[in-house]
Amino acid sequence: MRRPSAAIGALRRAIGRCAGVPGSALRAGLSLVEDLRCRPAEPADLEFLATMLGEAAVWRPDKPTPTGEEALADPHLATYLAGWPRPGDHGLVADHDGPVGAAWYRTYTEADHAYGFVSAEIPEVAIAVVASRRGEGIGRRLLVGLIEDSIAQGHPALSLSVNDENPARLLYESVGFVTVERRETASTMVRHATSARRRG
Ligand SMILES: CC(C)(COP(=O)(O)OP(=O)(O)OC[C@H]1O[C@@H](n2cnc3c(N)ncnc32)[C@H](O)[C@@H]1OP(=O)(O)O)[C@@H](O)C(=O)NCCC(=O)NCCS
């Protein structure tokens, strides 16, 4: 198995770093949003993360999105953020004159988990970008940054759940997530720390 540092190096060379360090943010697959900053999510970001959770839960543009408050009041959704930050939680917030997107992961147990659970060792990702800022490369930068951080923290893989019609699936596949389980209308995807990125 490749050492984590080697895997991070390979991923960085392939798809660049979220923080937008000059010279790295324009690597293949990443567009540069001028002055975009990705920073670690703090306890005070809970409200924004909850808003992003609502966006991720109802991703179809033609359907009303739950507010952050509504998302946290829904026990199925609240699982993704209850008690934030719990030990092992990690997230990134993309800032561009205020928060414009967030991605985070959390580990779960067999007894208490979210939709994309695979094992207690593999954290599950949630991600969303504010509707008016989608399609600018922000989501990709958040996800790449989160993958890098997960490797640096020694996690063997990341998982997530995605509706089969959600175009976010293309983003996930392009950074190395593969489907490991299909349910009625959604799939569980996993990206191993040693996975190669796939593009196009
Ligand atoms: C999914 C999401 C986080 C992606 O963030 P983003 O900033 O819009 O994505 P990017 O601009 O970085 O694009 C990355 C890739 O996403 C894919 N993609 C995402 N949404 C897409 C859409 N509506 N149509 C086509 N492709 C889309 C494309 O493959 C794109 O790759 P490309 O740049 O090579 O075309 C964002 O669209 C979002 O918040 N969606 C609603 C919430 C959601 O669905 N969350 C995930 C739940 S599983």
- CATH classification of the domain holding 105: 3.40.630.30
Instruction: Answer yes or no: is 198 within a domain.
Output: no
Residue 19 above 50 pLDDT? no
Q: How many whole angstroms separate alpha carbon 38 and alpha carbon 18?
A: 6
- Distances in whole angstroms, Cα of residue 117 to Cα of each of 60, 136, 188: 23, 29, 8
Ligand 1 pocket (Cβ < 6 Å) reads 55-56, 59, 127-129, 134-140, 162, 166-168, 170-171
Measured by CA distance, the residue closest to atom 9 of ligand 1 is 139
Number of domains observed in the structure of the chain: 1
Both tokens of 28, joined, read: 């293949």
Instruction: Answer yes or no: is 200 within a domain.
Output: no
pTM higher than the cut 0.85: yes
Instruction: Answer yes or no: is 23 within a domain.
Output: yes
Over residues 114-157, the pLDDT tens digits come to: 899 999 999 999 999 999 999 999 999 999 999 999 999 999 99
27 CA distance to ligand 1 centroid (A)?
18
Instruction: Answer yes or no: is 21 within a domain.
Output: yes
| Nearest atom in ligand 1 to 136's CA | 11
Both tokens of 10, joined, read: 């390979």
Provide the domain limits for residue 171.
4-192
Over residues 63-113, the pLDDT tens digits come to: 999 999 999 999 999 999 999 999 999 999 999 999 999 999 999 999 889
| Nearest atom in ligand 1 to 199's CA | 34
